[in-house]
Structure 1
Amino acid sequence: MAVDTSDPAFIAALIEKEKRSKSLGLPRLVPAVFLLLVYLVPFYYLFVTVFKSTDEYLNSGVLDLPRSLSPFVDNVVQAWTMADMGRAAFNSLSYGLLGAALAVGLAAAAAFGLTRLRLRSANAWFMLIFAGTLFPFQMYLVPLFFGYQRLGLINSWFGMLLIYTAICIPFPLLVLRNAFSSIGREIDEAARIEGASEWRVFRSMIVPNAKGPLIALFLLQFTFIWNDLLFSSILANGPQVRSIMTALQSLQGTYASSGPNVVVTASLISSIPTVLLFVFLRKHFMSGLQLAGN
Structure 2
Amino acid sequence: MFPQPIEKSGRFTNISYRAALPISIVMWLLPLIAVMMTSIRSMEDINKGNYWGWPSDIQFVENYTQVFTATPMSQYLLNSLIITLPAVAGAVALSTLAGFALAKYNFKANIWIFAMFIAGNFVPFQILMIPVRDLTITFGLYDTHWALIFFHVAFQAGFCTLFMRNFIVGIPDALIEAARVEGVSEMKIFWHVVLPLVRPALAALSVLVFTFIWNDYFWALVLVQSDEVRPVTAGLSALKGQWLASWQFISAGAVVAAIPPVVLFFTMQRHFIAGLTLGATKG
Please report the TM-score for the alignment, with normalisation by the length of structure 2: 0.89
The range that moved more, 115-124 or 147-156, is 115-124
Answer yes or no: is 1:193 the counterpart of 2:181: yes
Q: How does 1:144-223 map to 2 (within 5 A)?
A: 144-223=132-211
Distance 1:27 1:173, change over 3 A: closer
Q: How does 1:1-294 map to 2 (within 5 A)?
A: 25-69=14-58, 71-252=59-240, 255=242, 257-291=244-278
- The C-alpha deviation readout for 1:74-113, integer Å capped at 9, x for no partner, is 2113322444111111111122111011101100101111
1:141 counterpart SS class = helix
Residue 39 (structure 1) shift: 2.9
Distance 1:261 1:186, change over 3 A: same
1:152 counterpart SS class = coil
1:238 counterpart SS class = coil
Residue 132 (structure 1) shift: 2.3
Does the CA contact (< 8 Å) of 2:117 and 2:159 recur in 1?
A: no
Distance 1:141 1:45, change over 3 A: same
Regions of 4+ moved over 6 Å = 21-24
2:278 counterpart SS class = helix
- The C-alpha deviation readout for 1:118-145, integer Å capped at 9, x for no partner, is 2331111222333322211100001111
% same residue = 27
Provide the aligned length of Structure 1 versus Structure 2.
Answer: 272
- The C-alpha deviation readout for 1:168-225, integer Å capped at 9, x for no partner, is 1111111111111111011111111222100000001011101111111111111111
Does the CA contact (< 8 Å) of 1:75 and 1:261 recur in 2?
A: yes
Does the CA contact (< 8 Å) of 2:207 and 2:265 recur in 1?
A: yes
Q: Report the equivalent of 2:3.
A: none
Does the CA contact (< 8 Å) of 1:176 and 1:292 recur in 2?
A: no
1:95 counterpart SS class = helix
Does the CA contact (< 8 Å) of 1:178 and 1:292 recur in 2?
A: no
Q: Matches of 1:82 and 1:144 in 2, distance apart?
A: 34
Residue 60 (structure 1) shift: 4.8
Residue 24 (structure 1) shift: 7.2
The range that moved more, 157-166 or 284-293, is 284-293
Q: Matches of 2:188 and 2:243 in 1, distance apart?
A: 55
The residue type paired with residue 55 of structure 1 is: E
Please report the TM-score for the alignment, with normalisation by the length of structure 1: 0.86
Does the CA contact (< 8 Å) of 1:83 and 1:250 recur in 2?
A: no
Residue 261 (structure 1) shift: 1.3
Residue 293 (structure 1) shift: 5.9
Quote the RMSD (CA, aligned, Å).
2.0
Residue 278 (structure 1) shift: 0.3
The residue type paired with residue 87 of structure 1 is: Q
Does the CA contact (< 8 Å) of 2:100 and 2:168 recur in 1?
A: yes
- The C-alpha deviation readout for 1:20-52, integer Å capped at 9, x for no partner, is x87874454333333333233223323322221
Q: Which has the larger radius of gyration?
A: 1
Structure 2 runs not aligned, ≥5 long: 1-9
Distance 1:83 1:228, change over 3 A: farther
Q: Matches of 2:225 and 2:112 in 1, distance apart?
A: 37
Does the CA contact (< 8 Å) of 2:203 and 2:272 recur in 1?
A: yes
Distance 1:33 1:113, change over 3 A: closer
Does the CA contact (< 8 Å) of 2:36 and 2:255 recur in 1?
A: no
Distance 1:31 1:112, change over 3 A: closer
Residue 161 (structure 1) shift: 0.9
Q: Matches of 2:17 and 2:96 in 1, distance apart?
A: 45
